[in-house]
C-alpha cells in the first residue's frame, strides 16, 4: 500500500487513508448490480471479505463470483470450502443454474473441500498450516486460477485450538493471495460486536461487503452494503438483493442513469376517444403511464382494453395482476366485451397473477424482470402498483418502482401502471405513492356523483411531450368495451349520465341548433 497525500473517496471513517482511487484495478464479479455499486467490481488481485449471518447468501456470493469469473470473464477459479462438501456445493449452486460439475470437468474451476474436525485431531507441539497452502497452491496451479473463494475460512478456528498459530497463518495466507495477484472472496460469519466472529476484518482490509437478511412486517429482504472499499468510491447505501433463479441480483438505485431513448412512435390506447385526447395518437412508446383512481372507477377495465388493443395489433403484452387471478380477470373482462382469453391462447398475452404479500418488493421486481426477459413484451401492465406492498408508506416502494420503470424504458417497453387511490378527499399528491413524478402520462379516473347518479369520469392530469385534452370526460363500459362518450353540452354545460342520455334522445328528436356534439368517432 502506498502512502499518498491524496485521499480516496470513502464513506467509512475507519478506512485507512492512502490508496489512490484510480490505481485500484477491478475484477468484475459478474453479480448483477454489484459491479455498478462498486464501480467495476472487486479489487483485482486482493482479498475481499464477505460477511453475513447464517442464510445470508455468503456461499452463493462466493460461488457466483467463481462461476461468473470462469464462464464470463475467462478467469478460472478455485473454490475452497470448509463447511460444505463438494457435492453439496454443486447441488446448491445448481439451483442457480450454475453447472459447477462441468466447469470442473472443463478445467475452469477447482473445488477443494477442507474438512476440519476437532474430534479427530490431536495437537502436540509446533505446527503450521503449510498443508493448506500446498493444497491451495496445487488447486490454483491446476486450473491457472485468477480467482479464489474461501468459504468459510473461520471454520478453522473451531477446528484448531492454537489460535495464535492460526492467526499468524491467516495473515500469511492473505499475503500469499496478494503476492500471487489472486482476486479472492473470503466469507465470514457476522458477529454482534465486531464485524466478524474472529476479527478477520483485521487481515482483509481492502474490501468488506456486508450481507444481511432482515424481516420487516413478516416479509424478508436481503440487503447488501459495501462497508469499505479501500481506494475506490462505492455506493454506500444498503441495497436489496436476492438470490434469484439466475444467481444473485443486487438492485442498485443510484447507478441508474437517465439515458434511455425517447421514441416518437406512438402506442394507441385502443380507446378511440382517449387517443384523440392524447394528441390523436395515444401514448408515446416506452413511456410510463399511470392510471389512478379510487375503487370501482374502472382502472382494470381500461388497462385491459389497452392490452387487448395491443394484442389486436399483434404486439406481445404481459399483465401482472395482483388483485385478480388470471381466470377471474378473463371472466370479468368478457362482461365488457374484452376477450383476453383469445390472446392468451394465441400466445400474445400472458397474465401473471400472484398475491402481493407473497414476497417482498424486491422479489416482485426480480420476478417481473424474469418474466419480461422471457416473454419479451412490448407492453407491460401492472395492476395495481399500490398493492405491491401492504403499506402505502413503504419507503421501498418508490425506489422499486423507479427501478421497474427504468428497466421497462431501457427494454423498449411501454409500462402501464394502475394505482388504487384511497378516498376521493385526499389530495392528489398524497395518494400517488410519490410516484407520479416518475410517470410520463397520468390518467385519473374518478366517480362523479351528479343528481343521484354516479358516472365515471376520466381526465388526463399530464402527458409529457404532447398537447392533450384538459376536459374531464365521461366514459362507459358497455358490450362494446370501454368508450369515452361524446361531450354533450346543454346550454354550454356538459351533461353526464342519464341526463345526457335523455338530452341526447330529446335532441335527436328536436335537433335544436343550440346543442352541440363534439364529434370524433373512432377511426
Partner 1 sequence: MKSGTVERPARPAKASEPEWQLRLYVAGATSKSVAALANLQRMCEEHLAGRYEIEVIDLLVNPKLAAGDQILAVPTLVRKFPEPIRKIIGDLSSEERVLVGLDIKPVAR
- Residues designated as active site: 83, 323
Provide the β-strand partners of residue 23: none
Residue 408 grid cell:
421497462
The footprint of partner 1 on residues 74-113 (CB under 8 A) is: 112
Closest approach of Cβ 109 to partner 1, in Å?
15
Cβ closer to partner 1: 119 or 258?
119
Cβ within 8 Å of residue 291, ≥6 positions away: 299, 302, 303, 416, 417, 418, 419, 442, 443, 444, 445
Which of the ranges 46-54, 130-138, 245-253, 369-377 carries the binding residues for partner 1, by CB under 8 A? 130-138
CB 362 within 8 A of CB 251: yes
Cβ closer to partner 1: 137 or 472?
137
Q: Which of 16, 88, 94, 127 binds partner 1 (CB under 8 A)?
A: 127
Cβ closer to partner 1: 112 or 323?
112
Closest approach of Cβ 157 to partner 1, in Å?
13
Rounded distance between C-alpha atoms, residue 392 and residue 426, angstroms: 14
- The answer to whether 471 contacts partner 1 (rule: CB under 8 A) is no
Closest approach of Cβ 181 to partner 1, in Å?
20
The backbone torsions φ and ψ at residue 64, rounded to the nearest 5 degrees and listed phi first, read -65, -40
Q: Which of 2, 120, 423, 491 binds partner 1 (CB under 8 A)?
A: 120
3-state secondary structure 225-247: EEEEECCCCCCCCEEEEEEECCE
Closest approach of Cβ 174 to partner 1, in Å?
17
Binding mask 143-162 for partner 1 (x = CB under 8 A): -------------x--xx--
Cβ closer to partner 1: 198 or 320?
198
Q: Which of 6, 138, 214, 454 binds partner 1 (CB under 8 A)?
A: 138
Cβ closer to partner 1: 172 or 190?
172
Cβ within 8 Å of residue 253, ≥6 positions away: 237, 239, 399, 402, 403
Closest approach of Cβ 116 to partner 1, in Å?
6
CB 59 within 8 A of CB 89: yes
Rounded distance between C-alpha atoms, residue 108 and residue 141, angstroms: 11
Q: Which of 135, 190, 342, 398 binds partner 1 (CB under 8 A)?
A: 135
Cβ within 8 Å of residue 270, ≥6 positions away: 305, 306, 308, 309, 310, 312
- The answer to whether 115 contacts partner 1 (rule: CB under 8 A) is yes
3-class DSSP assignment, residue 319: strand
- The answer to whether 125 contacts partner 1 (rule: CB under 8 A) is yes
3-class DSSP assignment, residue 266: strand
Closest approach of Cβ 52 to partner 1, in Å?
24
In 3D space, the residue among 114, 202, 194, 195 whose CA is nearest the CA of residue 158 turns out to be 114
Render the burial of 201-216: b for 16+ CB within 10 Å, e for the rest. bebbbbbbbbbbeeee
Cβ closer to partner 1: 173 or 366?
173
Which of the ranges 117-125, 345-353, 397-405, 498-506 carries the binding residues for partner 1, by CB under 8 A? 117-125
Contacts with partner 1 by CB under 8 A lie at: 112, 114-116, 120-132, 134-135, 137-138, 156, 159-160
Amino acid at each position: 500500500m502506498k502512502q499518498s497525500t491524496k485521499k480516496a473517496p470513502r464513506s467509512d471513517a475507519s478506512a485507512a487513508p492512502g490508496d489512490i482511487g484510480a490505481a485500484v484495478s477491478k475484477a468484475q464479479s459478474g453479480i448483477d448490480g454489484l459491479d455498478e455499486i462498486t464501480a467495476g467490481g472487486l479489487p483485482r488481485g486482493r482479498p475481499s471479505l464477505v460477511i453475513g449471518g447464517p442464510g445470508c447468501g455468503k456461499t452463493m456470493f462466493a460461488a457466483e463470483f467463481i462461476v461468473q469469473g470462469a464462464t464470463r470473464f475467462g478467469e478460472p477459479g478455485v473454490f475452497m470450502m470448509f463447511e460444505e462438501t463438494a457435492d453439496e456445493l454443486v447441488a446448491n449452486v445448481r439451483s442457480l443454474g450454475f453447472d459447477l460439475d462441468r466447469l470442473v470437468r472443463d478445467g475452469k474451476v477447482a473445488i477443494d473441500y477442507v474438512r476440519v474436525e476437532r474430534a479427530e485431531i490431536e495437537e502436540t507441539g509446533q505446527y503450521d498450516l503449510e498443508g493448506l497452502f500446498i493444497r491451495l497452491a496445487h488447486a490454483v496451479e491446476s486450473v491457472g486460477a485468477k480467482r479464489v473463494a474461501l468459504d468459510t475460512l473461520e471454520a478453522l478456528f473451531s477446528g484448531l485450538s492454537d489460535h495464535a498459530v492460526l492467526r499468524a497463518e491467516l495473515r500469511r495466507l492473505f499475503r500469499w493471495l496478494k503476492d500471487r495477484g489472486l482476486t479472492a472472496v473470503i466469507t465470514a460469519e457476522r458477529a454482534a460486536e465486531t464485524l466478524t466472529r474472529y476479527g478477520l476484518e483485521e487481515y482483509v482490509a481492502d474490501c468488506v461487503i456486508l450481507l444481511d437478511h432482515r424481516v420487516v412486517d413478516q416479509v424478508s429482504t436481503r440487503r447488501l452494503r459495501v462497508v469499505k472499499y479501500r481506494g475506490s468510491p462505492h455506493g454506500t447505501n444498503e441495497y436489496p438483493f436476492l438470490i434469484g433463479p439466475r444467481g444473485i441480483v443486487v438492485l442498485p438505485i443510484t447507478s441508474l442513469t437517465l439515458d434511455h431513448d425517447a421514441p416518437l412512435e406512438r402506442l394507441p390506447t385502443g380507446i378511440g376517444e382517449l387517443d384523440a385526447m392524447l394528441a390523436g395518437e395515444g401514448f408515446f412508446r416506452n413511456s410510463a403511464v399511470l392510471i389512478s383512481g379510487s375503487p370501482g372507477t374502472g382502472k382494470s377495465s381500461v388497462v385491459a382494453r389497452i392490452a387487448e388493443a395491443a394484442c389486436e395489433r399483434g404486439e406481445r403484452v404481459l399483465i401482472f395482476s395482483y388483485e385478480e387471478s388470471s381466470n377471474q380477470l378473463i371472466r370479468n373482462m368478457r362482461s365488457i366485451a374484452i376477450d383476453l382469453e383469445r390472446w392468451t391462447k394465441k400466445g400474445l398475452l400472458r397474465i401473471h397473477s400472484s398475491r402481493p404479500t407473497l414476497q417482498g418488493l424486491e422479489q416482485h421486481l426480480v420476478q417481473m424482470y424474469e418474466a419480461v426477459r422471457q416473454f419479451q413484451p412490448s407492453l407491460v401492465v401492472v395492476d395495481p402498483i399500490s398493492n405491491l406492498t401492504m403499506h402505502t408508506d413503504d419507503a421501498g416502494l418508490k425506489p422499486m418502482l423507479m427501478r421497474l420503470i427504468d428497466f421497462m424504458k431501457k427494454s423498449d417497453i411501454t409500462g402501464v401502471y394502475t394505482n388504487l387511490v384511497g378516498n376521493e378527499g385526499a389530495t392528489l399528491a398524497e395518494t400517488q405513492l410519490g410516484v407520479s413524478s416518475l410517470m410520463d402520462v397520468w390518467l385519473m379516473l374518478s366517480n362523479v356523483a351528479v343528481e343521484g347518479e354516479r358516472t365515471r369520469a376520466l381526465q388526463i392530469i399530464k402527458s409529457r411531450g404532447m398537447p392533450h385534452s384538459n376536459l374531464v370526460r365521461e366514459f362507459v363500459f358497455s358490450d362494446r368495451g370501454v368508450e369515452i362518450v361524446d361531450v354533450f353540452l346543454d346550454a354550454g354545460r356538459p351533461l353526464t349520465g342519464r341526463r345526457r342520455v335523455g338530452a341526447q334522445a330529446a335532441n335527436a328528436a328536436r335537433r335544436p341548433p343550440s346543442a352541440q356534439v363534439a364529434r370524433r368517432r373512432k377511426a
